[in-house]
Structure 1
Amino acid sequence: MALTAEEVAQRYPLHWMVWNNQHEELRSALETKNFTTQDLELKDPRGRTPLLLAVTLGYIDAANALLDAGADVNCEKDGWTAVQEATASGDPELLALVLSRRDYQRVLVHSISIPDLLDKLRLAPDFYVEMKWEFTSWVPLVSRMCPFDTYKVYKRGGNVRVDTTLVGFENNRWQRGDRTFIFRGQGRTASLIELDHEKGTSWTEHMEPICRASEWPPPTVDIIEQRLNTPIAINYLDTDKISFERNKSGIWGWRQDKTENVNGFECKVFSANNVELVSKTRSEHVPRAAGTGPASTAPLAELLAMAESPSFSETTPLTATPDEDPEEDSKSKSPPVTWQEYFSGAGPPPGAPARDVGRPRVETTKVQKFRATLWLCEDYPLELQEQIVPILDLMSSISSPHFAKLRDFIQMQLPAGFPVKIEIPLFHVLNARITFGNIFGTSSPVRHVDCIQEGERPACVLDDACFDIGRGYTDAATTTTHGDDDGLLHYAIRQSMLDPAAHQPDDQVDVWEALRGERPRNPSPPHELPSPPSPSGHGLLTHEECQLQRAIEASLRSVSLLPAAEGEPAAEREQDVDDELQAALAASVQEHSARQHQLLAEQRALDEALRLSLLDN
């Protein structure tokens, strides 16, 4: 049924002003009239909010007015968000505006949601549990590169601690580390502490009121250019048709419901059928020179959905033709969509191509079906919604995409029981297997965790030390660096060597003391080197450690980073390095070069295997 202009303006007042690009009237109406959040997020017959319509049409002033009024920048249609629609428009100014507000709203929600999550956890019983993550693939080379990790989760009151060694995925490589995240709740406020045990640094974020949106820093030019020159992609699990089926075991004729023991708990085994993985890619905004051929991002990055840009794109035009230039204005290619056609919600005439507002899309969609497997225990001593889901939300808030996938999966209507073990597809060739174990430290002892018995169910008591930062950590925000690690090493040794007090006859400075800028604690004879600091005291260096220190000092002097000893001629300085040490250094360089060549060869084979696995049959 066709609507009149008056009816459209009455039903969709904000949409109507956006459609006609009446941005001044729109801003005035938003400031003077009492529009509610429901009005701002009302969807038109095509499923767009006023903000998403403004972004799709490319009306930056109207979008700015709606954002200033508090419109949700995370609105979406068909899975595409406002940021992605702004990217597809190809307008850098519009993208900068929407991206800046998106980042602002994320931080704002982050500062509000984490205290709420910690409040929910405060009411739940305390616990300790380990989550083992295993990544598997049917592609052999991918399987070789897939890591595993065990997240150790401590929860007491409104405090949560998570230890991990798997930081993320970047530049074709899994990023390893040794990190601890500590969430502390204090009433309506909270703080997040990140400890890097390898670097000995700590970083603290306080969940406090942030600056106004107008004061939020805009994205850099490099970020905007990178987005505008890279296809956009979304990947999600479609669970609308999912069904759960109890697995069977035994010989035909004697089949029964399958059960398995997982970490000491008897579990029922279920299969989740009709799990669809949907992958969509759009590239209408990408210049032809940048859009042809594979992108620079590694294939595995797309598979894990840890990168904004896909590595691989086969573009299939939906509303455009192959001869159309994506740089041209969409209105010059086809008759514009009229407001009657748009707001009536009616489709095109029979035989006519689908038409929509905005730039004609160049979109590829791939759908793959998977089966997921669950091991459910009905008497597990943890509650999924009250204890585990808030932990998944916390970890998802600090950019852990695999935690977000797990949270989305287990928030479905699962069969009764706690999912002690879950095996779900991530993307294309990669699966994740998550297993809960060592609950309350019952399987193996854990420091600061004491298992107790409360009635018929086990429980635990956690010490305050679980949530302390500990000694020896420096504030990452105030740490002064001098270039990269090698530069810091050179600088520390050079400064320590130049210190007159470090050249007393009875004192020698070793590499470890130079890094700390300290003088040796115990004088040593000239022919002996002081040992590196150790908990047990200060003894003599081993032969290997002496050789290591001599190698470092000799290599630094060879590139004139360290001065010669006082009174030592320049010619004699080079003779200090004996032939054996030079041979060892040369062998080390050769070995490193050979290892790099091997890694490059393996990586090329991996990329080719992944490329072939993603091609349509």
Structure 2
Amino acid sequence: MAGPGPTFPLHRLVWANRHRELEAALHSSQHDIEQEDPRGRTPLELAVSLGNLESVRVLLRHNANVGKESCQGWAVLQEAVSTGDPEMVQLVLQYRDYQRATQRLAGIPELLNKLRQAPDFYVEMKWEFTSWVPLVSKMCPSDVYRVWKRGENLRVDTSLLGFEHMTWQRGRRSFIFKGQEAGALVMEVDHDRQLVHTETLGLTLHEPEALLATMRPSEEHVASRLTSPIVSTHLDTRNVAFERNKCGIWGWRSEKMETVSGYEAKAGEVYSATNVELVTRTRTEHLSDQDKSRSKGGKTPFQSFLGMAQQHSSHNGAPVQQAASPTNPTAISPDEYFDPNFSLESRNIGRPIEMSSKVQRFKATLWLSEEHPLSLGDQVMPIIDLMAISNAHFAKLRDFITLRLPPGFPVKIEIPLFHVLNARITFSNLCGCDEPLSSVWVPAPGSAIAASASPFPCEVDPAVFEVPDGYSVLGAERSEPLRDEDDDLLQFAIQQSLLEAGTEAEQVTAYEEQLQLERALQESLQMSTEAEGPGAPLRAPPSFEEQLRLALELSAREQAEWERRGRREEEDLQRTLQRSLTEL
């Protein structure tokens, strides 16, 4: 029941952009800054949708949540990009990165405390990006995250730094987290430049203004967002179901083994996660005609397979009225908007939306081993939680493995990542058992570590958590986020990367495979022409796009035929077994 006075007072001040009164109301601490209006918007979401920059600035100064998603699944930053206002995007992006940083830093002590309880270890997480599009997988990157844990100290090494100017950025980086009495020491080590940026958790969290100042994005970063589509990729696992993979020719034998990183996963312990849906939505209302043309592409044969073309568009629907404004195109009045009983139908605030969407159903695969000594909850999940705060790949992995998984440690996982990409994550080289490391060793029999309760005891050299000799140690530096891997910008970057030629070696390999594909298809077409008879008209050579389409169709038909044969064989076997039982 609403109290005296107008309902949604903060929202009404935002609607009129009365930012000074909004500031005074927020200082009184009598209002909920995250309250949702009848249309599901917080005051910040409403201010961004209306393009009221002054109100946005006031709300952000009072810590309004930038990470909140709307009822339609759009983040505040994405809505800011849709306005096309560079100052709005810069402001929201700055506070988004600031809130992410404080969230990450505040969570580090809990992470390190959880790790302190667990046995020490070293493990490698290999990320391989694959695609169902022919020839594309060779252009996809891969990376190995190397993880050392000793006591409450953690180090994660990586070489794939992200995407910038439409190219993959590589380098040798280490992220080191060291527990201390006052909190934690965080170090980012750039081995290529021999530089170390350090920050002490307690000091950083007590200097919010200094931290915020370092988060201001560059003009180039803002411009890249305003000239790229807004892409939202959501992994829908609400209806997911886990099914054991069958093994053997007819699926009736169950003792076949598959070894993953030295640990055997029985075929009965390989699961498929069905009903995993990947929902991809793309918005372009903020783009110029030139930017839209660039995003739609059409330059290469891969374009249609990458799903870049819009499939359908939805707008705000109702005709523009005379008193309309760019951010209120159907002239909705405040009384109409704030009345929960008033139906807006297809009317809405904000710039009219131009959106395409795609829903694809995938299978994810899990290789599980009940004998693996690592603990998913105690040793691996804290690391994934930490990385997921600033890494979209780890966020998707976290969302998947927090489902109710079958028993066992997931030694290998394959999940859909984006429209054309899967990610295959393999845990390997536990404590240097596959490839020895000088920084990790198995303790001698009889030592305290060897006698511990850990099923796989190992010792990690404390030197790996120290700054290497000769490196320059500096303070924290965040003029540009290192891993700004939002789904929208990253997916567009990945798609553009896949459309462009790779290295010279990759071009040669792709060209050789293209020739093999062309020869196979030409032979198929020649056989088809001969079957039609000598009088059949000559056909023009198919384009490469047509060849790819034919190759995919042939592959799909072969797969379907193989599955039909398997079902027939299984049915024959069942009938044979049934007859044998009847005769007995």
TM over 0.5: yes
Contact 1:278 1:366 in 2 (8 A): yes
Is 1:68 the counterpart of 2:74? The answer is: no
Quote how far apart the aligned CAs of 1:295 are. 6.8
**Paired residue for 2:412?**
421
Work out the CA distance in 2 between the residues paired with 1:296 and 1:226. 17
Q: Count residues with an aligned counterpart.
A: 476
The question of whether the paired residues in 2 share the 8 Å contact of 1:259 and 1:269 is answered with: no
Label 1:239 to 1:473 Cα distance change in 2 as closer, same or farther (>3 A): same
| CA–CA distance in structure 1, aligned partners of residues 146 and 279 of structure 2 | 32
- Shift, 1:338, TM fit: 5.3
Flag the 1:155–1:287 CA change in 2: closer, same or farther, 3 A.
same
Instruction: Work out whether residues 131 and 137 of structure 2, in 8 Å CA contact, stay in contact via their aligned partners in 1.
Output: yes
1:102 counterpart = 2:99? no
Name structure 1 gaps, 5 residues minimum.
Answer: 304-309, 479-594
Q: Following superposition of structure 1 onto structure 2, how do residues 365-380 of structure 1 map, counting pairs within 5 Å?
A: 365-380=357-372
Report the structure number with the largest CA radius of gyration: 1
Structure 1: distance between partners of 2:318 and 2:38? 30
Alignment CA distance shift 1:432-1:62 (3 Å): same
Q: TM-score, normalised by structure 2?
A: 0.71
1:58-113 alpha-carbon deviations (Å, 9 max, x no partner): 22232222222221111111221112112212233333332222232222223322
Quote the residue 1:481 is aligned against.
none
Letter in 1 for 2:384: L
Residue type of the alignment partner of 2:386: L
Distance in 2 between residues matched to 1:477 and 1:135, nearest whole Å:
34
C-alpha change, 1:201 and 1:220, in structure 2 (3 Å) is closer
Task: Evaluate the alpha carbon distance shift between residue 296 and residue 99 of structure 1 in structure 2; reply closer, same or farther with a 3 A threshold.
Answer: farther
Q: 1:492-507 alignment to 2 at 5 Å?
A: none
CA distance in 2, matches of 1:449, 1:253: 42
Q: Is this contact kept in 1: 2:139–2:506, CA < 8 A? A: no
Question: In structure 2, do the counterparts of structure 1 residues 258 and 40 end up closer, same or farther at CA, with 3 Å as the change threshold?
Answer: farther
2:392 counterpart of 1:401: yes
Contact 2:126 2:145 (8 Å CA) reproduced:
yes
In the alignment, is residue 411 of structure 1 matched against residue 408 of structure 2?
no
Match of 2:74 in 1: 80
Cα pair 1:134 1:432 within 8 Å, conserved: yes
Letter in 2 for 1:131: M
Q: Distance in 1 between matches of 2:505 and 2:121?
A: 45
Aligned to 1:559: none
- In 2, are the aligned partners of 1:276 and 1:369 still within 8 Å (CA)? yes
Query: What SS does structure 1 have at the residue aligned with 2:113?
Result: helix
Identity %: 45
Q: Unmatched 5+ residue regions in structure 2?
A: 444-449, 477-501, 515-543, 554-584
The root-mean-square deviation of aligned C-alpha atoms, in Å, is 4.0
Q: 1:298 to 1:220 in 2, by over 3 A?
A: farther
Deviations 1:269-314 (A, max 9, x none): 1111111111111121223343334379999xx99xxxxxx99453
1:93 matches 2:84: no
Residue matched to 2:228? 230
Cα 1:16–1:603, aligned 2, differ >3 Å: closer, same or farther? farther
Q: Which residue does the alignment assign to 1:443? A: 434
- Note closer, same or farther for the CA distance 1:225–1:297 as it changes in structure 2 (3 Å cut): farther
Secondary structure at the counterpart of residue 417 of structure 2: strand
C-alpha separation in 2, matches of 1:432 and 1:279: 17
The higher relative CO (CA closer than 8 Å, separation ≥ 6) is in 2
- Residues 313 and 171 of structure 1: CA distance in aligned 2, closer, same or farther (over 3 Å): farther
Counterparts of 1:459-474 in structure 2 under 5 Å? 459-474=457-472
Q: Confirm or deny: 8 A CA contact 2:120 2:457 kept in the other structure.
A: yes
Change (3 A) 1:333 1:73: closer
Write the letter of the residue equivalent to 1:53. L
Q: Which residue of structure 2 aligns with residue 243 of structure 1?
A: 241
Contact 1:132 1:151 in 2 (8 A): yes
Contact preservation (8 Å) 1:182, 1:193 = yes
Map 1:100-179 → 2, pairs under 5 A: 100-179=94-173
Q: 1:213 to 1:13 in 2, by over 3 A?
A: farther
Q: CA deviation at 1:333?
A: 4.5
**Range 437-446 or range 73-82, more displaced:** 437-446
Displacement of 1:9 in angstroms is 3.2
SS at match of 1:96: helix
| Cα drift, residue 225 of structure 1 | 3.5
**Is residue 318–residue 347 contact of structure 2 (8 Å, CA) maintained in 1?**
no
Cα deviations by residue, 1:482-541 (Å, 9 ceiling, x for unpaired): xxxxxxxxxxxxxxxxxxxxxxxxxxxxxxxxxxxxxxxxxxxxxxxxxxxxxxxxxxxx
CA contact 2:156–2:174 (8 Å) conserved in 1 = yes
Q: CA 1:418–1:7 in structure 2 vs 1: closer, same or farther (change >3 Å)?
A: farther
Whole-Å separation in 2 of the counterparts to 1:609 and 1:75? 41
